[in-house]
Structure formats: structure tokens, C-alpha cells
């Protein structure tokens, strides 16, 4: 009985340390969900036509009145293999970085897991600030509703409906039904998460993880445009958010000793 109790206590302690190391992911989820109560369109005008015209001018395909945004072009050139690939890539946008964090924990690298998960949270905070500075509609919104703002608009699977149809179940429909903020398209944090995880995989010399995360990064960038969930502009700004955010986070840890000390104390008390 004593051995069982010791084993149970050890399992509970290990689980508690894993949760502590990955707590920033939980904070991220709570912050994201809170946006439904304080939508960004209450704080600024929604960019609907402007970003569409910018995308069409910068990255449009064709000429004159027939010029299409990349989203519109892809909508006319969908295929079953592309729909399947898009669904697989988009399913990894958050689960894959979270899985990387869990793997770091279970492999005994909880301090590294904490550093990565805090970076993930920091990137999200930067991105959320961008959402409120510049509310913007995604491409599917323009395709479905035009250029007039409809504030109570729900989420939409857009091009990911093809994947749902193929597997015969409303997987993405159920995910996007709970979208906390339709007008949070700039920057595309879909485009940021896997690159951030890839950077830390390289930093921690986890080559296999880095390769997988790099592949998913490129796949998600393509999927975001292919399915009409983001413009190319959104994706590029998401990549920039990842680069600038990681650089700023690492500089803060290096030069702001109070933050580094607080993280070290937290790690020593709850994680290691």
C-alpha cells in the first residue's frame, strides 16, 4: 500500500510539474477566449476593403478587372489532394507546438519547455495587440458578405469545408463555430506558431522536431491562403510577428534581470 501511495504521489508530482511548465499555454487559451467578450471591432474600424485591395494589387493574379487575389485564384483551383493536405496542416497549428512542449517535459527538459511556452505566450500577446490595433476581415468574409461589416458574424470553415466533406464529419465546422473573433486576421498567428516552435527546436538541438515544424510551417502558410482564411499579407505579418516577438522575448530575458530571475524562481519552485 505504501509503495502504491508513493507511486501515486510521484505521478501526481510529475503531472503537476508538467502543467506548471506548460501553464503559458493555458493562459494563452484563456486570453484568446476572452476576446469574445471584448471584440476588437469595438476599439477600431474594421479593415475589409483596404486589405483586400492591397492584396489584389501586391499579389494579384491576372490583369485588369479579371485580376484575382491568391485566395480567389485558389478557390477556382481546388483539388481533393490539396484539400486533404490543407486539413492535415491546419490541424497542427496549435497541437504540434503543444506536443513539442509536452515532449520536452516528458524527456526531462522541463526548463526548456517553460522557456518555449513563455515565448509562445509572448508571441500571442504581441499578436493580440495587433488584432486590437488593426481589426481586419479574412478573405472568406469578403467572399461571403462583401465589404460591409456585420459585427455578429460567426466563424466559418471557408476552404476547410472540403476536408470536412472528404472525411464525412464536421471537424473544422465544430472548431470554427467557437471562433472568438472573426475580425482578428492581422497578423496571422496561424503563420507564427510553428516557426516559433521550430526556432526553439533548433535552439535545443531537436533536429527531427525542427524538420517536422518547418514542414508544417510552410504547409500552414500555404493552407491559410488556399482555404481563404488569410491573405498573403496576413501570413507575412504573422511570420514577422514570430521573428520580432522571439527576438524581443530573448532580449528581455537577456537584459531584463527581474524577468529572468522571476522565471528562474518559478522554474525552481514548480517546474524542475
Q: Which residue has the higher pLDDT, 132 or 272?
A: 132
Residues 171-200 have a mean pLDDT of: 93
pLDDT, averaged across the chain: 93
Q: How many domains does the chain have?
A: 1
pLDDT at 107 over 80: yes
**What is the average per-residue pLDDT within 27-35?**
93
Cβ-in-10-Å burial (0-12, 13-18, 19+) of 209 comes to buried
pTM to 2 decimal places: 0.93
Q: Percent of the chain having pLDDT more than 90?
A: 79
pLDDT at 6 > cutoff 50: no
131, 125, 139: which is closest to 242 by C-alpha? 125
Overall average pLDDT of the 50-70 stretch: 95
Is the predicted pLDDT of residue 7 greater than 60, yes or no?
no
The lowest-confidence range among 30-34, 47-51, 165-169 is 30-34
Q: What is the mean pLDDT of residues 159-168?
A: 97
Q: How confident is the model at residue 177 (pLDDT cuts 50, 70, 90)?
A: confident
Give the model confidence (pLDDT) of 123-151 as tens digits. 999 999 999 999 999 999 999 999 999 98
pLDDT, mean of residues 161-170: 97
In this predicted structure, the answer to whether residue 234 has a pLDDT above a threshold of 90 is yes
Quickly count: other Cβ atoms within 10 Å of residue 129's Cβ.
Answer: 12
Q: How confident is the model at residue 14 (pLDDT cuts 50, 70, 90)?
A: confident
Flag whether pLDDT at 203 surpasses 80.
Answer: yes
Predicted confidence at residue 163, as pLDDT, reads 98
Answer whether 232's CB lies under 8 Å from 70's CB.
Answer: yes
Give the pLDDT of residue 15: 84
User: Rounded to an integer, what distance in angstroms lies between the CA atom of residue 46 and that of residue 173?
Assistant: 24
Range of the domain at 40: 2-271
Closest C-alpha among 51, 60, 77 to residue 138? 51
Amino acid at each position: 500500500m505504501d509503495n502504491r501511495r508513493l507511486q501515486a504521489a510521484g505521478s501526481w508530482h510529475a503531472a503537476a510539474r508538467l502543467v506548471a511548465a506548460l501553464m503559458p499555454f493555458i493562459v494563452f487559451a484563456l486570453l484568446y477566449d476572452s476576446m469574445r467578450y471584448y471584440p476588437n471591432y469595438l476599439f477600431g474600424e474594421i479593415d475589409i476593403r483596404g486589405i483586400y485591395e492591397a492584396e489584389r494589387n501586391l499579389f494579384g493574379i491576372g490583369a485588369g478587372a479579371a485580376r484575382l487575389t491568391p485566395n480567389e485564384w485558389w478557390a477556382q483551383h481546388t483539388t481533393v489532394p490539396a484539400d486533404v493536405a490543407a486539413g492535415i496542416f491546419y490541424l497542427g497549428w496549435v497541437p504540434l507546438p503543444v506536443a513539442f512542449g509536452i515532449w520536452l517535459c516528458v524527456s526531462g527538459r522541463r526548463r526548456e519547455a517553460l522557456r518555449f511556452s513563455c515565448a509562445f505566450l509572448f508571441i500571442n500577446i504581441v499578436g493580440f495587440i495587433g488584432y486590437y490595433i488593426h481589426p481586419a476581415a479574412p478573405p472568406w468574409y469578403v467572399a461571403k458578405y462583401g465589404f460591409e461589416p456585420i459585427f455578429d458574424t460567426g466563424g466559418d470553415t471557408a476552404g476547410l469545408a472540403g476536408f470536412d466533406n472528404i472525411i464525412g464529419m464536421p471537424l473544422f465546422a465544430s472548431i470554427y463555430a467557437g471562433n472568438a473573433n472573426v475580425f482578428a486576421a492581422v497578423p496571422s498567428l496561424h503563420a507564427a506558431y510553428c516557426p516559433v516552435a521550430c526556432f526553439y527546436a533548433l535552439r535545443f538541438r531537436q533536429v527531427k522536431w525542427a524538420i517536422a515544424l518547418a514542414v508544417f510551417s510552410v504547409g500552414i502558410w500555404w493552407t491559410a491562403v488556399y482555404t481563404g482564411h488569410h491573405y498573403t499579407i496576413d501570413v507575412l505579418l504573422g511570420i514577422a510577428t514570430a521573428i520580432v516577438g522571439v527576438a524581443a522575448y530573448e532580449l528581455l530575458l537577456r537584459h531584463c534581470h527581474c524577468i529572468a530571475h522571476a522565471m528562474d524562481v518559478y522554474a525552481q519552485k514548480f517546474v524542475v
